[in-house]
Amino acid sequence: MTARQHKLINQPAAIVDEMLAGFCAAYSDIVRLDGRLVQRAQPKAAGKVGLVIGNGSGHEPAMLGWVGEGLFDVNIAGEIFTAPGPDSIVEGIRAADRGAGVLLCVSHHAGDRLNAEIALELCAAEGINNVDMVLLYDDISSAPPGREAERRGTAGLFFVWKMLGAYCEGQVSLSQAKALAEKARDNTRSLAMSLSSCASPVTGEVMFEIAADEMEIGMGLHGEVGMGRQKSLPADATIDLMLPPILQDLPFTAGDEVLVLLNNSGSLTLMELYILYRRVAQKLAAADIRVYKAWVGAYATTQEMAGFALSLCRVDAQLKALWDAPANGAAMKQL
Amino acid sequence: MNSIGAEELRGMLMALAARVAEERAALNRLDAALGDGDHGSSISAAFALAAADCAALGEASLQSLWLRTAKMLLNGMGGASGALFGSFFLSGARQLQGVERLEKCQMAALLRAGLEGVMARGKAKVGDKTMVDALAPAVAAFAAADDYSQAWRQAALAARAGAASTRSLVPRQGRAKYLGERAIGIQDPGATTIALLFEAADTWWRNLTDEKT
């Protein structure tokens, strides 16, 4: 399957700034733009832990859509598929500081982690104390069980963002916030697949080659290839292939309650996603795993890639309550 | 010539920026096989920023040029490449405090500090299919040579051989790690950029000293 290489943009060098300008104009009741920082239109009250995340652009809505009440305080936008540099991360940390410490969330990729580490060193050197980072990951295809900390951060972090955001609306400490993020992370597992590649908005080139009758399982958020290629399968057979390794990894077992996300990587249709979700629901019911809530949609994308990620998060009473707490981001609303 | 001052160093940084700009498309193609296909675009844009910044600096010290380059690479590029190429320059900058001209052995120490900074930041060792596979042999060859002329030449050759050696390696760091054995046969783009930079420095030195290449 070929990628759609023609993008409706103005010029590659202006993509990020023009995209941010449009996003913040569209959702001006929720966010405001300050350079490359997307901030809440109404800052969180003083005395609460600030939440920041940086990420490469090109995955919209991704974390842009998760700035707002009950969610992040600040999102630092990087270049396309490129983590922001340390100076802008420090700026984001300053902007999110409400006097009770700032937690820098890192969706685990080498660039995000390295720049976050440098940013924290800069904070220490500049006397900005009470800042910490938490490394978040969920993709089971990127490292085997026992080496979870080497895994990539992908669409399943959706659960962590929401719960952590709700938690930091309360009077909690920085260390409590970090522990909550780790708890949500450690109960989350994801696996992605793709039928097609996508074109880099920067170079216009297709990011990887894949034959028309093949699919890749274990796709990263940047089209990094994962577990391997195989002949494409129908929807049910694809879920039957992907769900068991997710369930075994945690493991999710009979009696567990879970949140489910079926995230569109870009150009699958909702029709296809609903067909896929139907099979997920059947298989989970058969395994006696109860779905507390499910989401089907495009939350973290990789341009026009035709694929999806399946993510599960095991929840207890605390995580369910945090999930159900109010949130108002452009891409995540909870009444 | 047996020492390098701020004006020469500025010229070298310009030459490095020009060289990576020429190879932008080729580096993108290499990166497409292992990463997201934009290494050439991002590194050439960041070096262009660094070169422009150094050009605009007016009267400059060795340290200010090296530090400006570090900051422009860190912040102008972002990503793992920005952090690692930036760390290369940042790590050595302290050694340049008050230094007006760099003898060959001081340059060797500066490059060594850069290598150590990259390795400390990225946790990569020789053989992990990263920029370290070109940088480590280049730094060693530079140190082992008798004078600048030999040092730049030997470092460039060692960097190129090191970059070529990455073809047969399985990646153990960075995004390409997830490809595993599928990455065998492809040369690492970061190592390739290191080779280009040392080759550009060698050519710059030949032009500066009017030596035959």
**Does residue A207 contact residue A198 with C-beta atoms inside 8 Å?**
yes
Q: How many CA atoms lie within 13 A of A70 on its CB side?
A: 18
User: Where do the DSSP E strands lie in A137-267?
Assistant: 188-194, 214-217, 228-231, 257-264
Contact (CB<8Å) B41/A78: no
| Cβ–Cβ below 8 Å for A85 and B173 | no
pLDDT confidence tier of residue A225, bands split at 50, 70 and 90: low
Residue B212: what pLDDT?
Answer: 56
Confidence of residue A2 (pLDDT cuts 50, 70, 90): low
Cis geometry, peptide bond prior to residue A61 (ω within 30 degrees of 0): yes
* 8 Å CB contact of B74 and A85: yes
Q: With a cut of 60, say whether residue A322 has pLDDT above it.
A: yes
Q: Phi and psi (nearest 5°) for A64? A: -55, -40
Here the tokens at position A164 are 């952590």
Q: Which residues of A are identified as catalytic?
A: 59, 222
Burial of A25 (0-12, 13-18, 19+ CB in 10 A): exposed
User: What CATH number has the domain bearing residue A48?
Assistant: 3.40.50.10440
pLDDT digits (tens, 9 = 90+) for B70-85: 999 999 989 999 999 9
**In this structure, are residues A134 and A178 in contact, taking their beta carbons and an 8 Å threshold?**
yes
A68/B57: higher pLDDT: A68
| Contact residues, chain B, for A15 at CB < 8 Å | none
In a domain, A332, yes or no: no
CB contact under 8 A, A205 and B37: yes
- Residue A297 has what pLDDT? 97
How far does B105 lie from chain A, in Å, by closest CA? 29
Residue A193 is assigned to a structural domain of this protein:
yes
Q: Is-contact B184 B169, C-beta < 8 A?
A: yes
Integer distance in angstroms from the first to the last C-alpha of chain B?
16
Q: Is the CB of residue B167 less than 8 Å from the CB of residue B151?
A: no
Q: What is the average per-residue pLDDT within A266-285?
A: 98
Q: Do A152 and A56 have their domain in common?
A: yes
CA A290 vs CA A187, A235, A246, B105: distances in Å = 15, 22, 15, 67
A334 lies in a domain? no
Residue of B nearest to A86 (CA): B75
Residues A181 and A51 placed together within one structural domain of the fold: yes
Contact B80 A203 (CB under 8 A): no
Interface test with chain B among A5, A109, A112, A114, by most B beta carbons within 10 Å: A114
Looking at residue B38, its pLDDT comes to 85
Percent of chain B past pLDDT 70, that is, above it, reads: 99
* Any domain includes A7: no
pLDDT band at residue A131 using 50, 70 and 90 as cut-offs: very high
Per-residue pLDDT band at A27 (split at 50, 70, 90): very high
When the pLDDT of each residue in chain B is averaged and rounded to a whole number, the result is 93
How many contacts does A have with B, using Cβ atoms within 8 A? 109
Please report, for the domain that includes residue A244, its CATH number.
Answer: 3.30.1180.20
Q: Do A78 and B87 touch (CB under 8 A)?
A: no
Q: Which of A161, A186, A211 is the last residue in one of the domains?
A: A186
Number of domain units in chain A: 2
Kindly state whether residues A49 and A172 are assigned to the same domain.
yes
Beta bridge partners of A328: A69, A333
A192 and A173 within one domain = no
**Which chain B residues have a beta carbon less than 8 Å from that of A114?**
80, 83-84, 121-122
Compute the distance between CA of residue A50 and CA of residue A94 in angstroms, rounded to an integer. 9
pLDDT of residue B163: 97
Joined tokens for residue B91: 């790590």
Q: At a CB cut-off of 8 Å and minimum separation 6, what does A116 contact?
A: A54, A83, A89, A104, A106, A133
| Residue B213 predicted with pLDDT over 70 | no
Q: pLDDT band at residue A221, thresholds of 50, 70 and 90?
A: low
Tell me the chain B residues in contact with residue A110 when contact means C-beta distances shorter than 8 Å: 80, 122, 173-175
pLDDT > 80? residue B86 = yes
Rounded distance between C-alpha atoms, residue B73 and residue B44, angstroms: 10
Gap between the Cα atoms of B197 and B136, Å rounded: 14
Counted residue by residue, chain A has a size of 335
ipTM of the complex as predicted: 0.88
Best A37, A55, A79, A229 member to test B by mutation, with max B CBs in 10 Å, is A79
Q: Can you tell me the distance from the alpha carbon of B149 to that of B208, in angstroms, rounded to the nearest whole number?
A: 11
Per-residue pLDDT tens over the stretch A167-187:
999 999 999 999 999 999 999
| A113, amino acid identity | R
Residues A61 and A137 in one domain: yes
Return the pLDDT at B34: 82
Indicate the Cα dihedral angle A275, A279, A282, A283, nearest 10°.
-160
Q: Which DSSP letter does residue A14 get?
A: G
Task: With cut-offs at 50, 70 and 90, classify the pLDDT of residue B31.
Answer: confident
Residues A172 and A241 in one domain: no
Distance from CA of A321 to the nearest CA of B (A): 35
Q: How many residues does chain B have?
A: 213
* Contact residues on chain B for A3, CB-CB shorter than 8 A: none
Question: Which uninterrupted H or E stretch holds A22?
Answer: helix A15-26
Q: Name the residue range of residue A51's domain.
A: 12-186
Give the pLDDT score at A6: 85
- The answer on pLDDT for A135 being more than 80 is yes
CB B78 within 8 A of CB B46: no
Is A55 within 8 Å of chain B by CB? Answer: no
Among A167, A186, A205, the domain boundary falls at A186
Judged by CB atoms closer than 8 Å, whether chains meet at A205 and B78 is answered as no
- Strands, sheet with A327-329, edge to edge from the N-terminal-most edge strand: A68-69, A327-329, A333-334
Q: Is the dihedral of CA A225, A272, A66, A130 positive or negative?
A: negative
Whether residues A195 and A181 share a domain: the answer is: no
Average pLDDT over chain A, rounded to an integer = 94
Q: Among B36, B82, B83, whose Cβ lies nearest the Cβ of A223?
A: B36
Instruction: Let me know whether A21 and A93 are in one domain.
Output: yes
A83–B74 C-beta distance less than 8 A: no
Rounded Cα–Cα distance for residues A321 and A16 (Å): 35
Q: Is residue A169 domain-shared with residue A302, that is, in the same domain? A: no
pLDDT at B56 > cutoff 60 = yes
User: In the predicted model, what is the mean pLDDT of residues A94-109?
Assistant: 97
Res A129 pLDDT > 80: yes
Q: Is the pLDDT of residue B211 over 90?
A: no
Domains of chain B, by residue range, sit at 3-209
Pick the CATH number of B3-209 from 1.10.10.10, 1.25.40.340, 1.10.1040.10, 2.40.50.140: 1.25.40.340
Q: Which residues pair with A214 in a beta bridge?
A: A231
For A130: left if phi > 0, alpha if psi spans -120 to 50, otherwise beta; the answer is left
Token pair recorded at residue B94: 């302290």
Is A230 in the B-facing interface, judged by CB distances under 8 Å? no
Amino acid at A140: I
**What secondary structure letter does DSSP report for A199?**
B
Burial class (CB in 10 A: 0-12, 13-18, 19+), B4: buried
Please state the separation of Cα A72 from the chain's center in Å.
Answer: 12
Cβ–Cβ gap B36/A81 under 8 Å: yes
Cβ(A224)–Cβ(A307) under 8 Å? no
The answer to whether the CB atoms of A83 and B79 lie below 8 A apart is yes
Q: Is the pLDDT of residue B4 over 60?
A: yes
Q: For B174, which residue in chain A has the nearest alpha carbon?
A: A110
Chain A interface test: which of B27, B28, B38 (most A C-beta within 10 Å): B38
- Strand ordering across the sheet containing A131-136: A31-34, A37-40, A74-80, A50-57, A102-107, A131-136
Alpha-carbon distance of A80 to B174, in angstroms, equals 17
A168 shares its domain with A276: no
A200 close contact with B: CB closer than 8 A: yes
pLDDT at A1 over 60: no
Residue B95 phi/psi, 5-degree rounding, is -65, -20
Average pLDDT over residues A210-239: 85
Peptide bond into A326 cis (omega under 30): no
Chain B residues with CB under 8 Å of A85 CB are: 74-78, 82-83, 86
pLDDT category of residue B178 using cuts at 50, 70 and 90: confident
Cβ–Cβ of B175/A78 closer than 8 Å?
no
Name every chain A residue with its beta carbon within 8 A of the beta carbon of B179.
Answer: 224-225
Place of tokens 């973290």: A300
Q: Are A81 and A60 in contact (CB under 8 A)?
A: no
Indicate whether B190 pLDDT > 60. yes
For residue A11, is pLDDT > 60? yes
